[in-house]
Chain A
Amino acid sequence: MPELVVLVAFLEASVRLGVPLALAAMGETITERTGVINIGLEGSVIAGALGGALGAMALGGAWAGMFVGAGAGAAVAFVFAAFSIGLGTDQIITGTAITLGGLGFTGAIYQARFGTTGAVLSVPTLAPAPVPLLSDLPVVGSALFAQAPTAYLAYVLAPALWYFLYRTQWGLEVRAVGEAPDAAAAAGVRVRWTRFWATVFGGAMAGVAGAHLVLAHAGTFAENMSAGRGFIAIAVVVLGRWNPVLVLFAALFFGAANALQFQGQALGLDAPYQLFLAFPYVLTLAALAGWVGRSRAPAALALPWPKRE
């Protein structure tokens, strides 16, 4: 049936676009659980994208690109952490600056290397890797289980992070640091160190997300191609109530909203192209408005530690 084909294509695109959101958001979940809000996540995403592209081209393979992308994302987050956690600068403004700097520097590097003509790079891509048996399931099979390996990373990461947070000593420390850093410090936890690595981890995940955009979705790099996904990821963390499993589902939902821009016409929705582009952001705003008071953020979120004065 043609409708079914369209539906499957839509589901597949939803997952493919939801995966980078999921990875970035799950990383940010851990970061925010320690009380740090990384507005610079977008910078990590775009850095991961460029790193992924350059890494794949220079080292001759998409997997290499993935690792370079993760590293680039982590490096950007490292700078953010150095300022906001190390020095204690305001997290919000520092994060904004990191994003602006990330977008600016990646744009500059791209233009310097490849000129301003906008020629499309050819980047070795990551082929979909169907899971035996599972990918043969009707409808869901090809949508969920015939994706690039990064999707499987996302599926596994969600329960793994949940287990980490609620069943391990380290996860307990992470939660304590995000709720009451003074109490955690009094109990002997190294607050800033915990926040630091949680932030760098979040950046690495965002970097993988960016690399996925290049290596598993677009097949090339373009300036500003992150298109605000880092910000949407931060909203997804709120909507997923800082719970890694819920965050994964929320991210896939937003992937669907994103997929409309490609599948919209096929699905029979006739509207201006820009409307489809704007839709995910509008949806995010509406979701944020509707989710008010449902759950509380980590109590120490965005507060510097040690406290000023």
Chain B
Amino acid sequence: MTEVLARLDGIVHRFGRVTALDGADLQVRAGEVHGVLGENGAGKSTLLSVLGGVLRADAGTLSLRGTAVTLHSPRDAWANGIGLVYQHFKLVPRLTVLENLALGRRTGSRGWRLPLREVEDRAAELMTQAGLTVDLHAVVEDLSVGNRQRVEILKALLRDPRILILDEPTAVLSPPEVDTLLALLRSLVTDGRAVVLVSHKLDEVLAVSDHVTVLREGRTVLSAPRSELEVTSLTHAMIGADHISGPRREPHAVADGEVVTRLRDVRATGPRGQEALRGVSLDLRRGEIVGIAGVEGNGQRELALVLAGRAEPTSGDIEVASGTGFISQDRTSEGLALEFDLTENVALAAHRDELFRSGILLKWDEIEVRAERLRSEFAIRAADVSVPARSLSGGNQQRLVVGRELPEATDLLVAENPTRGLDVAATDFVHGQIVDAVRSSVDGPSVALISTDLDEVLELSDRLFVIVRGRLTEVAREQWTREGVGALMVGAAGVPDDRGSR
């Protein structure tokens, strides 16, 4: 019987009135890759925050190698051999990799010295051992997402953890990178370490884990060795029912629909002045969903903003539709004004919706009527339309955004990572709305679905493109699989070369 390195029993944690964990259990054994599965909002991140010393449980016990402990801070966790690799990287962008690694290492009483040489040597050792390569002298903000993740892993390994926890590590990776990472994880457990992999991606967890625990609504509903499990029982455990995945549609390209948006050789620059779009040409027709898949950092942002008319290209021809709706990937800072209530957030559409305005005035009665309708039709859980948007859950916030944008999308709807961070119910809802918008009438809009979630794009698109380093490549029907699309992403920014930098 392999040694139990960590054991969590009956963990409860509340954030204010929300109970994130309601009696969760976990047993981490040495030499194992342990996959923790659950949909968004199931409590996975909270559980591993408890294990990582970031949060303290309100109830339940944590024991490490048989002894009960309380972890008061991440430092306690490190001292106990637990290393945490966060989903949202905790790196200082303007410092070098080496400086990031050196941060937080107190070298005893001589704390004022900066032991860069020693850290460099140790890091080089570790990179050889683990088979990772990163340019230690590169500035983090110049690194691709995949490389930054490597730095995070290296940072965690430097503390020599017995248990390495990774929170949704594959969310930002392209298929080839996912494979590399999963291989790395398997190699890490050979010397008696344990790896805990937290994810909502079933196939990946199944591919690499020795043992799987499923969380649902804050509780452990299933925990078994990999050999005893298969997809259906796991899906059932994750969402409590058999999941009929989405509105299954047959992709149907509309060859003769009205072109609502046309881009010809469009170029655009990104936030740091770099060329983000390098000559993109695209026709979007009414009644079709055009999916654009890609790893973050290849120009999706700029493409979304240009299509939605929110940014100007630096060159090229562009005919942009007038009736455009935009679901931004950044719903809390671009989609909504969190301090404003529902009515005021709906009012943000006033510039595009004549109903809401009259000369220099705003017609608040009309806006409020629309907000009320939205609340009921889109099932937004809010006491009334005057609660601040800040008080809504992520899923409800997205419903608000979608509800506000759809009526304005008479010609084009640009949806940028529209279901990021949403649970299955909200995801299904958003997908349903998108499909309905296209199908609802002959004059339905065109939809540009720009997403890093391959499954979403494969499921919904009528036509499919991959964006790589600011250029679009159409994907032939035969290649509409993860491997097929993944192959097209090789050479994308974010897919590593050997030097570990972009």
Residues in chain A within 8 A of chain B (CB atoms)? 167-173, 175-176, 179-180, 182-189, 296, 299, 309
Contacts and interface: CB of A to CB of B under 8 A. Distances in A.
Given A169-B113, A188-B75, A299 B106 contact: no
A180 B74 CA distance: 17
B206 interface: no
B340 interface: no
Contacts of B74: 186, 188
B390 interface: yes
A171 B114 CA distance: 9
B32 interface: no
B114 A184 contact: no
A37 B388 CA distance: 30
Interface in B85-112: 86, 89-95, 99-100, 102-107, 111-112
B112 A170 contact: yes
Contact of A309 (B95, B112, B338): B338
A170 B114 CA distance: 8
A188 B104 contact: yes
Interface centre among B90, B99, B102, B111 (most CB of A within 10 A): B90
A296 B92 CA distance: 14
B59 to A, nearest CB: 25
22 contacts: A168-B113, A169-B102, A169-B106, A169-B107, A169-B112, A169-B113, A169-B114, A169-B115, A176-B95, A180-B90, A180-B93, A183-B92, A183-B103, A184-B103, A184-B104, A186-B74, A187-B103, A188-B73, A188-B78, A189-B104, A299-B94, A309-B390
Interface of A is mostly: helix
B191 to A, nearest CB: 25
A296 B115 CA distance: 27
A188 B74 CA distance: 7
A184 B100 CA distance: 9
Contacts of A168: 112-114
Contacts of A189: 103-104
A183 B90 contact: yes
Contacts of A179: 92-95
Contacts of B112: 168-170
B111 A170 contact: yes
A100 to B, nearest CB: 27
Closest 7 CB pairs of A and B: A187-B104, A186-B90, A188-B104, A183-B90, A180-B92, A187-B103, A168-B112
A38 B315 CA distance: 43
Nearest to B73: A188
Contact of B93 (A184, A187, A299): A299
Contacts of A187: 90, 100, 103-104, 155
Contact of A176 (B73, B89, B92, B338): B92
